[in-house]
Structure 1
Amino acid sequence: MLDRQAIERALCSIWEDLLAVEVTPDDDFFELGGYSLLLVDVVAEARKHGFTLTPNDVFDHKTPAAIAAVLLPDGSAAPERSDQSQSGADPDFAEVWAGGRSPVEVEPVPTLTPLVERGTGTPVFCFHWGAGNVRFLRDVVDTFRGDRPVYGVESVGMWSRERPSLSIVEMSTRYLREIREVQPHGPYLLVGPCAGGRIAFEIARQLEEVGEEVAVLALVNAMPPGTNELDAGWGLRDYYDFRLASLRQQFGVPNLGADRERVMERMVETAKIDAGMDPADLHWRQAVWAAGNFAQEHYEPRPYGGHAMIFQVAQSADREDADWGRVIASTEVRTFDAPDTLPLLRDPSFAEILAKKLAEFPA
C-alpha cells in the first residue's frame, strides 16, 4: 500500500524523468519548468505507480510533498477530492453543461461568419481553432486573401447555448452544409489553423467524396489525426477541469470569475476568446473547448487523395507523428521559426506563400 513518502518519491522520480532536473519533495513543478500539457504525462505516469492524480492536484498544490499530503493526509487512504479546484469557485462541469441545449431543442445559430465581406470571386474559408473562435483572424486575412472575400467557421456554442457536436465528422458535415450555401461548387479554398486543421482536412475529404475540387488546403501548425496532445481516455469533465486549472495558473487567479474583467481582456489579447463575449458565458466557452478537444482526440480519419500545404513550426518539424503524409496523398511542407500558431499566422513569409498559392486560382 502506498504511503505519503512513496507518493513523494514517485512524483520526484516522474518529474525528474520528464523535466531532466533533480527534484526534491518541496520543489514547485512550474518553477522547475513544468507546463500545462506536460501534466498529461505526469498523470499517466502516476497511474503506472499505482495512484490516481489529476492535473488540478498539481496546479493547486505544486510540490510532491503538498500533493502527497492531499492524496493521503493520514498516510493510509485517499479521501474523496472535489472535481473542482481546492481553492476555486468555478462551476462544476455538470452544472455548466446542463445549461446548454440539445440541437433539437434550439434554433441553430449559423457557424459561418464573414471575416471580410468585400471582394470578388472564390471566397476563402478559415476554420476555428481549439477554443472554437475564429473572428480574431480578421486581423490577419488581409495579408493573404488578395481581393477575395473571407468567411470564418466558428464552433457551435460560441454565441448560443447550443451544445456542440462531439464528433469531427459530424461537426464538419454541418459546417460544409453552410459553406455550400455560400459556394455550392468548387474549387474550394480552405485554411485550417491549429485544431482547425483537422476540420479543414475532414471537410476536404468530404468534398472529395462527392467529386468536388479543393484547390487549396492550407494546414497551419496543425497536427495530423491520431496525434494526441491530451489524454484520449479523459471525459468531458476531465478536459473542462484541465482547461480551468490551466487558465487559473496562467492568469494567477483562484478562479476565473475572481478577476473576470482582467482575465477576459487577456484572453482576447491571446485570441482565446473573441471580443464581445458575454461575461456570463466565460465558463460555458470552456465547456465548448472541452467538447472540441474531446472530438479532436477521438477523430478517426479516412485518407484524402488531394494535395495540402503544411505550414509547421520548427519545434514540431522532427516529430514522426507530425507527418500528414500518413493520411494525405500529396503534401508541400514549409517550416517556420514561429513559436506558436498566432505568430505563424502573422508571419509575413507565411502570408506571402499562402497569398501566392491562392493567386494561382482565378478570383
Structure 2
Amino acid sequence: MTRDSRPSFWVHAAGGNVLSYAVMVRELSPGIDIYGIQARGLEDGQEVLTDLVQMATCYVEAVREVQPDGPYTLVGWSFGGMVAVEMAAQFRASGDEVSELVLIDTGTRDAAPGQMDLTDPGFLAGLAQFLAQSVAHQLGPAIFAALPAEARVAHFIQTAVEAGALPPTFTEDELSRILTVYAGCNDAYRAYEPAVLAVRTTLIRAEQNTDPDPRLGWAPPEGGELRVIDAPGTHVTVMHEAHVRAYARQLSDVLARATS
C-alpha cells in the first residue's frame, strides 16, 4: 500500500480464485494497489462457504486486517460483484464509508449455470474461458468431443499448463476443488436476495450481455451515482485482454479517484 492512497479489494468470481483478474491488473495504470480476495475451499482443509452473507462477513473481516478503517473500494466480476454489494452493505451498517463499488458485468438477474460435468465438451470449453483464457481457442467443444471422455480433463490441464495459463504444478485435484467452490458459490447466489445499492457504484457492462436493461437490474443508490461503462465482449470475454484494454483507462480513473 502506498502512503498516498488506499488499496482496492477485488472479490473472486464463482471459481474462487483471483487469477481471472491477472490481465486486468497488468492493464491498470501504475500506482493502483490491489488486494485479491480468494474463496475458502481452494486450500486443503478449508470449508467451502455456501452462504453469501456469511461469505461477505468473512471477507469484511479480512479487509479490515489490511485496512482497519474506511473508506473502502470494492470490486467484483460476476458473482464477485454480488459479494461486493453485500460487503458494502455490511460496511455501511457498521458505520464505515465505502468510496466506490465497481461491478464488472454483475446483474441482479444473472442465471446460475446448470450441471457441471467434466466429461461434457461444452462445459469444459466454458471452463477454459474462465481458467485458461489465453488458450481457450485451443479448447473448444469440438476438440474435447474428439477425445475419449476419460482423457478430456487431462488434455485440458496439459494444454493450459504448457501455454502457461495454469501453474506447472496444477493437478486434477485442484480442478476438483475449484469446481466444489464453484458449486458452493452458485448455491450461495441462488439463495441470496441482492442488497440495494447504497454507495457510489460503477457498473462495467458487457455489450453482449443479453439483459435488455443497461443497468442490469440495478437502481441507482439513493442520493448517489450509478455510472455505466460499456465494454466489449460477453459476460466472460469482457475479462479477456483485448477487451480489458478498451476500458482499463476508465476503470483506472475510477479507482484512482476512489482510493486517493
- 1:332 maps to 227
C-alpha change, 1:154 and 1:302, in structure 2 (3 Å) is same
- 2:176 maps to 283
2:194 to 286, 301, 305: 301
The one-letter code matched in structure 2 to 1:204 is A
C-alpha change, 1:145 and 1:213, in structure 2 (3 Å) is farther
C-alpha change, 1:270 and 1:294, in structure 2 (3 Å) is farther
DSSP 3-state at the match of 1:126:
strand
Q: Distance in 2 between matches of 1:173 and 1:186?
A: 16
DSSP 3-state at the match of 2:188:
helix
1:191 to 75, 79, 83: 75
1:258 to 126, 134, 151: 151
Following superposition, the deviation at residue 194 of structure 1 comes to 1.5
* TM-score normalised to structure 2 length: 0.77
Q: Distance in 1 between matches of 2:202 and 2:44?
A: 33
Aligned positions of 1:30-45 closer than 5 A: none
* TM-score normalised to structure 1 length: 0.57
2:50 to 166, 173, 180: 166
Following superposition, the deviation at residue 303 of structure 1 comes to 2.0
Following superposition, the deviation at residue 161 of structure 1 comes to 4.1
- Contact (CA 8 Å) 1:133, 1:274: kept in 2 or not? no
- 1:348 maps to 245
Identical-residue share of aligned pairs (%): 25
Whose RCO is larger (CA < 8 A, sep 6+)? 2
C-alpha change, 1:279 and 1:316, in structure 2 (3 Å) is closer
- 2:205 maps to 312
The one-letter code matched in structure 2 to 1:360 is R
- Contact (CA 8 Å) 1:345, 1:351: kept in 2 or not? no
DSSP 3-state at the match of 1:264:
helix
Moved over 6 A (4+): 268-271
1:150 to 26, 30, 34: 34
- Contact (CA 8 Å) 2:100, 2:201: kept in 1 or not? yes
Residues 81-115 of structure 1 show CA distances to partners (whole Å, capped at 9, x for unaligned) of xxxxxxxxxxxxxxxxxxxxxxxxxxxxxxxxxxx
Q: How many residues align?
A: 234
1:230 to 85, 92, 112: 112
- Contact (CA 8 Å) 1:135, 1:274: kept in 2 or not? no
C-alpha change, 1:194 and 1:265, in structure 2 (3 Å) is farther
Aligned positions of 1:41-80 closer than 5 A: none
Matched, 1:323 2:217: yes
Matched, 1:215 2:91: no
The one-letter code matched in structure 2 to 1:291 is G
What RMSD in Å do the two structures reach over aligned CA positions?
2.9
Q: Distance in 2 between matches of 1:292 and 1:214?
A: 24
DSSP 3-state at the match of 1:339:
coil
- Contact (CA 8 Å) 2:200, 2:226: kept in 1 or not? yes
C-alpha change, 1:293 and 1:362, in structure 2 (3 Å) is closer
